Amino acid sequence: MAQRFYDTRTATVRDFVPLTEGEVSLYYCGATVQGMPHVGHVRSAIVFDILVRWLEYTGLQVTSVRNVTDIDDKILEKSAASYGEDFEEDENYPADEPWFALAYRFEHEFARAYAALGVRRPTYEPRATGHIPEMVALIQRLIDAGHAYPATDGSGDVYFEVNSWPAYGELTRQRVEDLQDAPDADPRGKRDPRDFALWKGAKGTDPATAAWESPWGSGRPGWHLECSAMSTKYLGSHFDIHGGGLDLRFPHHENELAQSAAAGDGFANFWLHNGMVTYAGEKMSKSVGNTISPEQMLEQARPKAVRYFLGQAHYRSQLDYRPTSLQEAEAAIERIEAFLDRGADVVADLQLKREEAAAVAGTLTGEEAPDAVYVAQFSSVPTAFRAAMEDDLNVPQALAVLHDAVRAGNSALAAGDEDAVEQYYSDVQSMVEVLGLDDVPEPESAQDPAAHHALDILIRAQLDARAAARAAKDWTTADGIRDTLAAAGVVVEDSADGARWSLQ
RNA sequence: GGUGGGGUGGCCGAGAGGCGAGGCAACGGCCUGCAAAGCCGUGUACGCGGGUUCGAAUCCCGUCCCCACCUCCA
């Protein structure tokens, strides 16, 4: 089966064939760094992180680019507001902060949020402010081609002329006539209200640091333009996939496509859009107050569970957050981890036995023991998992395969079938890797090896005492020890070969 | 008004003409000294009304409702 993706532009699921064999070029929209990341940003990043990991798993070489839009109206507005006399600063917005400081600060907050959830960095993360010459060149090409014009009112703006581009609306299949005019649109020097800004002439109130020289006067780029300029700079005029949130389809991606296509670029071959995150069925919004930030999620659950939750739905579906969602994800994750923990012990034993057997055989024959032969194969994923991922990245289906393997693995453990355990262990491990779940950093408290070692010795002493009590059928003492450990957040599990402990 | 996507069991969430994906929760059983974990089993789920079909959650017609975008948005 071939890889297939739903392409927004054609509104169909199509076979995905890379433009260059063996390689994939991916551009997906990151953030306009004007505030703290919210879960929607993070979901999108996780979706495309899984996509990249999967494509790489299938042997493709992926070049991924995610923009940082670090200059725009909102950033300037927020910075300007911070200098106001009646400005009330809060933890996210200090007083008197230059726009570039604000943007850079939030850029780092995004990087932190991504890293906390195991989102790998893209190949490159270009900033809009670093690509002004590319944007100016693109505008010039559009003017030369007759698709853009400097504003007639001397404002220094340059607009894309929607009516000069018959294909306008092709991405979202909308007719220009049907579009509602923006109620508060400032017509300024536009020929048509639907024309959008490529370049915004500097206003007297703009800080000098937020203006660049151009053939049309000092100013700054409009939204949309940076993505066209940066994607084609790093990926070529025609690249494989352009991604982003569903809400970016219009106008952002529609305009990107128009300006790039009108300039003569082939642009994106596939458009992938991820669904929104809702809170109990409603879109999260600050005014309703039904928001939850990545930070808050991380306070409630382990990063791995948060990643599992944000990645578990199909990427095109709306993902609904509920107060119980993270607990459920935590339970699912723990089930997988519990199997991997127990399975690892069995697999390690099995390896050891083989090495011993090989050593004995080597002594007998005088040959050296071949060790490479016994290295577990972590390289292949079950066919059903592959089929699910190839079918428009059907992660929910893929997770079903993962959970099936966990159950089968647990049964094999119970049956003492070590070879089967090894196989399921390998399957689960490789699926977990593709989904990036093994790559999520644990919270700092859980990753101090010295502390963990000390704790292990102390708990083992307790468990030994309990084992002795159990051997003597002194249940009161045995249960007392277990209760004490439980009160300290240590869960004890008995098994045929002794007790295991883990932190709650 | 235009465009796109939906309504699936207690909850989340795939699927898309015929064997009830999967997770979470619940209940019963096995295992266990008791637990925990694990395993097995249970629930007659597809908004509503018609139709097509041997057979429909899946196709067709009608109808109700929801969400997103059209203004900044992942």
A493 among annotated binding-site residues = no
Q: What is the CATH number of the domain that holds A88?
A: 3.40.50.620
Asked if A201 and A151 touch (Cβ cutoff 8 Å), the reply is yes
Collapsed DSSP state (helix, strand, coil) of residue A336:
helix
Q: Same domain, yes or no, for A240 and A141?
A: yes
- A156/A241 same-domain check: yes
Q: What is the nearest nucleotide to A399, using C1' and CA?
A: B22
What nucleotide is nearest A327 when CA is compared to C1'? Answer: B24
In a domain, A262, yes or no: yes
Q: How many CB atoms lie within 10 A of CB A75?
A: 21
DSSP string, A370-405: P-GGGS-------HHHHHHHHBT--HHHHHHHHHHH
Residue A442, Cβ density class (10 Å: 0-12 exposed, 13-18 middle, ≥19 buried):
exposed
Residues of the domain holding A464:
448-503
Q: Which residues of A spanning 246-265 put their CB closer than 7 angstroms to strand B? A: 246-252
Say if residues A462 and A490 touch (Cβ distance below 8 Å).
no
A312 falls within a domain: no
Q: Does residue A206 lie in a domain region? A: yes
Residue A267 in any domain: the answer is yes
Sign of CA dihedral A144, A148, A153, A157: negative
A29 annotated to bind ligand:
yes
Q: Using a 7 Å cut-off to protein CB atoms, list the covered nucleotides of chain B.
A: 1-5, 11-15, 21-25, 32-40, 66-74
The reported pLDDT for the residue numbered A351 is 87
Taking a C-beta distance cutoff of 8 angstroms, is the pair A32, A75 a contact? yes
Q: How many domains does chain A have?
A: 3
Q: Are A34 and A78 in contact (CB under 8 A)?
A: yes
Is it true that the peptide bond before A37 is cis, omega within 30 degrees of 0? no
| Residues A428, A497, A458: CA angle, nearest 5 degrees | 95
Choose one of A232, A253, A274: the last residue of a domain: A274
Q: Is the CB of A82 under 7 A from strand B?
A: no
- The rounded distance, in Å, linking the Cα atoms of A289 and A56 is 39
- The ipTM estimated for the assembled molecules is 0.94
- Let me know how long chain A is: 504
- Residues 291-330, chain A, CB closer than 7 Å to nucleic strand B: 312-314, 317-320, 322, 324-325, 327-328
A452 annotated as ligand-binding: no
Same domain for A494 and A425? no
**Helical spans, DSSP H, in A127-218:** 132-144
Instruction: For chain A, 504 residues long, give each residue's pLDDT as a single digit of tens.
Output: 689 999 999 888 899 999 999 999 999 999 999 999 999 999 999 999 999 999 999 999 999 999 999 999 999 999 999 999 889 998 899 999 999 999 999 999 999 999 999 999 999 999 999 999 999 999 999 999 999 999 988 889 999 999 999 999 999 988 887 776 554 455 668 888 889 999 999 988 899 999 999 999 999 999 999 999 999 999 999 999 999 999 999 999 999 999 999 999 999 999 999 999 988 777 776 666 677 899 999 999 999 999 999 999 999 999 999 889 999 999 999 999 999 999 999 999 888 888 888 888 766 665 554 444 444 444 689 999 999 999 999 999 999 999 999 999 999 999 999 999 999 999 999 999 999 999 999 876 666 788 888 989 999 999 999 999 999 999 999 999 999 998 888 889 888 778 888 887
Last residue of a domain, one of A439, A464, A494: A439
- Same domain, yes or no: A165 and A222: yes
- Residues A343, A237 share a domain: no
Are A149 and A14 contained in the same domain? yes
Tokens matching residue A234: 């790093």
* 143-202 on A, CB < 7 Å from strand B: 172-175, 178-182, 185
**What is residue A374's predicted lDDT score, i.e. its pLDDT?**
40
Question: Would A8 be classed as within a structural domain?
Answer: yes
Establish whether A256 is an annotated binding residue. Answer: yes
Q: How far is the CA of A417 from the C1' of B39 (A)?
A: 14
Round to a whole number and report the distance in Å from the CA of A325 to the C1' of B66.
Answer: 21
pLDDT (0 to 100) of residue A305: 95
Q: CA A106 to CA A32: how far, in whole Å? A: 9
Is residue A353 a known part of a binding site? no
Same domain, A158 and A208: yes
Identify whether A298 is part of a domain: no
Distance (Å, whole) CA A327 – CA A181: 44
Same domain, yes or no: A150 and A257:
yes
In a domain, A296, yes or no: no
How many whole angstroms separate alpha carbon A100 and alpha carbon A87?
A: 19
Boundary (domain end) residue, out of A394, A418, A439: A439
In order, the DSSP letters of A193-235 are TT-EEEEEEPPTTS-GGG-B--TT-SEEE-TTHHHHHHHHHHH
Q: How far is CA A64 from CA A1, A50, A274, A451, in A?
A: 24, 12, 16, 38
Q: For A133 and B26, how far is CA from C1' in angstroms?
A: 63
Q: What is the pLDDT of residue A385?
A: 96
pLDDT of residue A370: 46
Does A354 lie in the same domain as A267?
A: no
Q: Are A481 and A342 in a shared domain? A: no
Residues contacting residue A241 through CB under 8 Å, at least 6 positions apart: A5, A24, A25, A26, A27, A28, A51, A268, A269, A270, A271, A272
Among A83, A82, A92, A86, smallest CA distance to A33 is for: A92
Q: How many helices (H) and strands (E) does chain A have?
A: 14, 15
One domain, residues A457 and A491? yes
| pLDDT for position A185 | 53
Whether A280 maps to a domain, the answer reads no
Q: pLDDT tens digit string along A94-121?
A: 999 999 999 999 999 999 999 999 999 9
Question: Nucleic chain B: which protein residues 38-67 of A have CB below 7 A from it?
Answer: 38-41, 43-44
Type of residue numbered A336 = I
Q: Give the C-alpha separation, A229 to A136, whole Å.
A: 9
Residues A457 and A489 in one domain: yes
